[in-house]
Amino acid sequence: MFDTKVAILVHEDLAVWQKLNVTAFLATGIAGAVPEAMGKPYEDAAGRFHGRLLGQPILIFAASTEALHRAWQHSLNRSLTRSAYVRAMFETGHDAANRAVFRAEPADAPDLVGLALYGPKKDIDKATKGMRLHP
């Protein structure tokens, strides 16, 4: 049905609140980077409008550190749209600080706890090969 795919990979060893936080932030990263992937506003039976959602499913995967790094490298090699969340971002309190700690990470091996990918379905499937959907 879709030529593209959205996948969010979340480190399997995080606390539940961290997994939810990372997933929410990463989804907004994809929505911001790919506005054409957004659907139209929702309208309820009373005619009130509500925010737009991504127009296709988002698959959420549980990932190990190694799986996150494989997907990171694949996303770089394939120039996939991505948003990333590193462990140090849990220690910050605002967007500017998040960007600063992200920039301080090693470019080829950041301490990823989450990664969102958007791109051609076959490329996302390769990036997530062997991963299981989050329970």
**3-class secondary-structure state, position 92:** coil
Residue 35 placed within a domain:
yes
Query: Which residue positions in the chain have pLDDT lower than 50?
Result: none
Residue 45 placed within a domain:
no
pLDDT at 1: 84
Q: What tokens were used for 78?
A: 């394939």
Residue 44 placed within a domain:
no
Distance from C-alpha of 40 to C-alpha of 11, rounded to nearest angstrom: 31
Residue 129 placed within a domain:
yes
Task: Read off the CATH number of the domain in which 62 is found.
Answer: 3.40.1490.10
pLDDT at 132: 96
Containing domain of residue 62, as a range?
A: 4-39+50-133
Asked if residue 84 lies in contact with residue 115, where contact means CB atoms within 8 angstroms, the answer is: yes
pLDDT at 47: 98
Residue 111 placed within a domain:
yes
Q: How many domains does the chain have?
A: 1
Q: What tokens were used for 49?
A: 């409008």
pLDDT at 36: 94
